[in-house]
């Protein structure tokens, strides 16, 4: 302490010129520090604007959308981030964060969004999407959602519950699919087994229907949505591009076998055939990731020479869902594979047109068995290359149920055991 006092005293008694020289040095040092920080500041700002900001900027669209209408549904309990993720998955916003940021910049207004259905557009900015959802007037007051995979019977029941229009009215309106707007091309190339049905043409989406609408008006709007979707994804033209799984297969060369080829001996796919496969995909698939593979399984089952590979019973779909659809048509409840029943007998019943493993039912079905969404429709016209004849939903990954695929029945049995071990079956 004394040393400090002495030093300060000596410093006070030092000649003034020494003190001025020391002040000048301090000023120079201070100036250099300021200049240095200034350089760093300018450089840092440049780096932020040209490097950091460019790297970390949240992806966001500009404007109010591209004109493609998307109906989204906000459910009870959704957080702002949940809504953002849903909008991103539907193609409305470029990123969930863009929507979350817009909400935060607007005083967390996203927390005021009411549950319900909203019509939006693809490729909206986060702010534009927020403006739609935070305006209660944009909420569809009479919205009803038809899930993917609903059968026509389930559609009628849902619409009747929503509007009060009797189920019988929907059944009567559906008796003439073409009067509802189904293009006649969907019924070209029928054999004696097929019949005209509205099944497959009632597009799954969210609609605004009320009790003042007729059954015919509602079903017509659903068919119109189907027609628009089919045109948008170029479904009909892509059907013609589906490749023959076995171009060397000549059914007429098979001796001693009563076989009726699915299309009269030539590989020619009509749109209704691909629609049937899309309906099976929609019913059987646990994830869009498997749709194209399931599609190939179905085409393989119909068109591969099973006399040669001896893996399947006939050139038929062999799907439990088909048999259960027949039960629904007859007013019966579906039966799951876990229930006690002689599956070999019922799946091969020659008297039942919906028995999918009966050789007498080789080929396509009497109609589609459900109303598929976009992913299933896409899968039906873009089958992945492969020789698979079997698949089984066998494991869960990231919240999705995925399947294992096999060519031989032995490998399929192993996959089935894996599914049972995973608790899927």
383 and 255 inside one domain: yes
DSSP 212-264: TS-HHHHHHHHHHHHHHHHHHTTHHHHHTTPPPS-TT--GGG-TT-----TTT
- Find all residues with CB under 8 Å of 375, minimum gap 6, and list them: 288, 291
Q: Distance between CA 270 and CA 403 in Å, rounded?
A: 28
290 and 156 inside one domain: yes
230 and 329 inside one domain: yes
200 and 253 inside one domain: yes
Domain boundary (80, 115, 141) is at 141
> Residue 171 has what pLDDT?
98
50 belongs to a structural domain: no
CB 327 within 8 A of CB 284: no
> Residue 345 has what pLDDT?
85
> Residue 1 has what pLDDT?
38
284 and 330 inside one domain: yes
49 belongs to a structural domain: no
Q: Distance between CA 260 and CA 363 in Å, rounded?
A: 8
56 belongs to a structural domain: no
97 belongs to a structural domain: yes
Q: What is the pTM of this model?
A: 0.76
404 belongs to a structural domain: no
Q: Which domain, by its residues, includes 334? A: 146-388
Joined together, the tokens standing for residue 399 give 């919240």
- Find all residues with CB under 8 Å of 419, minimum gap 6, and list them: 392, 393, 394, 395, 404, 425
203 and 185 inside one domain: yes
240 and 380 inside one domain: yes
Low-confidence stretches of the chain (pLDDT beneath 70): 1-56, 249-266, 305-313, 337-339, 425
Domain boundary (141, 169, 203) is at 141
128 and 268 inside one domain: no
For residue 91, the domain's CATH number is 3.30.1490.480
> Residue 260 has what pLDDT?
53
223 belongs to a structural domain: yes
290 and 379 inside one domain: yes
Domain boundary (93, 117, 141) is at 141
297 and 321 inside one domain: yes
94 belongs to a structural domain: yes
Domain count, the chain: 2
202 and 277 inside one domain: yes
265 and 210 inside one domain: yes
177 belongs to a structural domain: yes
Give, for 24, the enclosing helix (H) or strand (E): helix 16-47
């Amino acid at each position: 302490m004394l040393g400090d006092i002495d030093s300060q005293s000596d410093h006070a008694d030092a000649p003034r010129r020494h003190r001025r020289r020391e002040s000048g040095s301090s000023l120079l040092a201070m100036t250099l520090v300021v200049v240095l920080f200034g350089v760093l500041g300018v450089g840092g700002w440049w780096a932020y604007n040209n490097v950091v900001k460019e790297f970390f900027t949240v992806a966001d669209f500009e404007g109010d959308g591209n004109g493609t209408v998307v109906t989204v549904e906000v459910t009870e309990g959704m957080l702002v981030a949940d809504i953002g993720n849903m909008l991103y998955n539907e193609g409305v916003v470029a990123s969930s964060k863009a929507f979350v940021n817009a909400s935060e910049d607007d005083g967390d207004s996203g927390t005021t969004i009411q549950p319900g259905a909203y019509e939006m557009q693809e490729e909206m900015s986060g702010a534009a999407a927020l403006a739609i959802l935070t305006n209660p007037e944009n909420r569809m007051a009479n919205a009803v959602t038809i899930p993917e995979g609903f059968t026509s019977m389930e559609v009628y029941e849902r619409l009747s519950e929503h509007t009060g229009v009797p189920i019988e009215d929907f059944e009567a309106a559906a008796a003439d699919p073409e009067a509802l707007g189904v293009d006649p091309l969907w019924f070209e190339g029928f054999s004696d087994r097929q019949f005209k049905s509205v099944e497959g043409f009632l597009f799954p989406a969210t609609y605004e229907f009320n009790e003042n609408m007729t059954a015919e008006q509602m079903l017509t709007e659903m068919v119109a949505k189907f027609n628009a979707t089919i045109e948008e994804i170029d479904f009909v033209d892509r059907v013609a591009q589906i490749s023959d799984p076995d171009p060397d297969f000549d059914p007429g060369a098979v001796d001693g076998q009563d076989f009726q080829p699915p299309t009269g001996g030539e590989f020619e796919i009509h749109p209704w055939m691909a629609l049937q496969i899309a309906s099976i995909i929609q019913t059987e698939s646990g994830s869009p990731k498997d749709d194209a593979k399931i599609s190939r399984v179905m085409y393989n089952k119909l068109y591969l020479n099973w006399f040669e590979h001896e893996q399947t019973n006939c050139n038929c779909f062999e799907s439990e869902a088909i048999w259960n659809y027949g039960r629904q048509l007859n007013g019966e409840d579906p039966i799951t594979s876990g229930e006690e029943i002689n599956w070999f007998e019922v799946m091969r019943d020659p008297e039942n047109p919906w028995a999918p493993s009966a050789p007498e039912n080789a080929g396509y079905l009497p109609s589609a068995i459900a109303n598929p969404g976009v992913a299933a429709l896409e899968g039906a016209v873009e089958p992945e290359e492969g020789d698979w004849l079997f698949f089984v939903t066998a494991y869960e990954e990231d919240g999705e149920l995925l399947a294992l695929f096999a060519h031989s029945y032995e490998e399929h049995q192993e996959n089935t055991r894996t599914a049972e071990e995973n608790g899927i079956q």
